[in-house]
Amino acid sequence: MRVIVLGGDGFCGWPSSLHLSAIGHEVTIVDNLVHRRIDVELGVQSLTPIAELPERLAAWHEKTGNTIGFEEIDVAVEYERLKSLIGVVRPDVIVHFAEQRAAPYSMKSSAHKRYTVDNNVNGTHNLLAAVTEAGVDAHVVHLGTMGVYGYETVPMDLPEGYLTVSYPDRNGDTHTRDILYPTQPGSVYHLTKSLDQLLFQFYAGNDGLRITDLHQGIVWGTQTAETALDPRLVNRFDYDGDYGTVLNRFLVEAAVGLPLTVHGSGGQTRAFININDTVRCIRLAIESGCEIDGCVRVMNQISETHRVSDLADIVAELTGAAVSRVENPRREADANDLSVRNDHLVGLGLDPIALRSDLLAAEIDLARAHSDRVDPARVPAESCWNRERVEAVESVIP
């Protein structure tokens, strides 16, 4: 298939692009390289030394003989270029990773909030409008987030995108229908993913676009079979307080001898998935595109759920690191239960990789091997969700 990967230079997009190329798809990456510029803005760098994109692509060609195309386009701004590329490539599938994806970054300031909304909502809408205007029957596969469901404890396993509701009409007769699960975004970033869902619903209904929205859990792990082929292909590993997800931060804290900083009680339960499963899920979603029947297909792209404090305990046990409880900069429930259905991807063939200690040990080894690249001052998450959180965090600074 001809596949355009928007955001193909990023943490999920790069290994996905390589895998799709390795199994014979014709891949074109579109990226405006903004994550690399945000690294500069934040004064951070990937723990792993990532090559520039042209060097990555040359290395891939050298190792495999496969060619991956690249177009530097800002999908949120350069609508005409995006539309013309879609018209020329006439892709069977467009995978959309190209969004600002860090919740803490989205909450840093009003400028960061506005950038995140402008970038993510315009990017998604430009894509849908361009596919429609170009008249191309491309299956759009988008990366959403588990965070659209919110993190309140509910007495059910979270369904995949839709909730079946019954309601009485004015005559007292009962009707049943599926509605989008009510969103409860916990940050501006999550809010943009909630807004994306409405854009998808509209374009699927109005223009018959075939769309899959993958509500993904927090991704952990770094390398895949393809990124491990050559040091120039290594995947990025964000450890900083804005882009580093919770497990990455614990691993790096342990590697450089810092205590593991758990926000609040650590009772927050979240969904996780290994990067190798992310890549497999993208493939499964792409290869099953013909089953979409008019509605947006939503699949929960997760392997398992864990409590943050349990993750800290696992990493502490493996490394001897201390665990430190810090004031939570986020406005979120201190503890929640979470159970999530992932029947759809499992039905398509996903065999989830569990968070095992040998896999974590490999990540810790990777973090130790690159510990000279870590700036310890950049590990704590300092972006506060609102004034009340600023005051709470400042009140405990020694």
Ligand X SMILES: NC(=O)c1ccc[n+]([C@@H]2O[C@H](COP(=O)([O-])OP(=O)(O)OC[C@H]3O[C@@H](n4cnc5c(N)ncnc54)[C@H](O)[C@@H]3O)[C@@H](O)[C@H]2O)c1
Show the site string, 19-48: x = touches ligand X by CB under 6 A, - = not: ------------xxxxx-------------
CA distances (Å), origin 386, targets 118, 214, 391 = 21, 29, 9
d(CA 44, CA 38): 9
Report the sign of the C-alpha dihedral through residues 367, 368, 369, 374, in that order. Answer: positive
Q: Residue with CB nearest ligand X?
A: 10
d(CA 56, CA 21): 13
Catalytic positions, please?
145, 189, 193
Q: Which of 124, 245, 276, 383 binds ligand X (CB under 6 A)?
A: 245
Q: Would you say 204 or 218 has its CB closer to ligand X?
A: 218
Only one of the segments 9-17, 131-139, 325-333, 375-383 lies at the binding site for ligand X (rule: CB under 6 A); that segment is 9-17
d(CA 213, CA 296): 7
Nearest distance, CB of residue 99 and ligand X, angstroms: 4
Nearest distance, CB of residue 84 and ligand X, angstroms: 15
Alpha helices in 3-102 (DSSP H): 13-22, 34-42, 53-64, 79-89
Nearest distance, CB of residue 351 and ligand X, angstroms: 20
CA angle 60-64-70, nearest 5°? 35
Length of the chain counted residue by residue: 398
DSSP 8-state secondary structure symbol assigned to residue 256: T
Q: Would you say 143 or 312 has its CB closer to ligand X?
A: 143
219 binds ligand X (CB under 6 A): yes
d(CA 239, CA 367): 10
Q: Which of 4, 5, 11, 47 binds ligand X (CB under 6 A)?
A: 11
Q: Would you say 134 or 247 has its CB closer to ligand X?
A: 247
Nearest distance, CB of residue 71 and ligand X, angstroms: 9
Q: Tell me how many residues contact ligand X (CB under 6 A).
A: 27
Q: Which of 3, 143, 285, 302 binds ligand X (CB under 6 A)?
A: 143
Only one of the segments 73-81, 197-205, 287-295, 372-380 lies at the binding site for ligand X (rule: CB under 6 A); that segment is 73-81
Selection from 240, 199, 202 nearest residue 117 by Cα: 199
CA angle 20-22-26, nearest 5°? 55
Nearest distance, CB of residue 171 and ligand X, angstroms: 44
Only one of the segments 41-49, 68-76, 159-167, 252-260 lies at the binding site for ligand X (rule: CB under 6 A); that segment is 68-76
CA distances (Å), origin 265, targets 199, 243, 317 = 36, 22, 18
Nearest distance, CB of residue 72 and ligand X, angstroms: 8
Report the sign of the C-alpha dihedral through residues 163, 166, 169, 175, in that order. Answer: positive
Q: Would you say 40 or 397 has its CB closer to ligand X?
A: 40
Question: What would the two tokens of residue 101 be?
Answer: 């994806």
150 binds ligand X (CB under 6 A): no
Question: What would the two tokens of residue 93 be?
Answer: 């599938």
Determine the 3-state secondary structure of 206 from DSSP: helix
Only one of the segments 7-15, 169-177, 252-260, 290-298 lies at the binding site for ligand X (rule: CB under 6 A); that segment is 7-15
Q: Which of 17, 28, 116, 119 binds ligand X (CB under 6 A)?
A: 119
Q: Would you say 118 or 230 has its CB closer to ligand X?
A: 118
Residues 79-108, interacting with ligand X (CB under 6 A): 97-101
Residues 6 or more apart whose Cβ sits within 8 Å of residue 380: 241, 261, 326
Nearest distance, CB of residue 235 and ligand X, angstroms: 9
Interface positions with ligand X (CB under 6 A): 7, 9-13, 31-35, 74-76, 97-101, 119, 123, 143, 145, 216, 218-219, 245
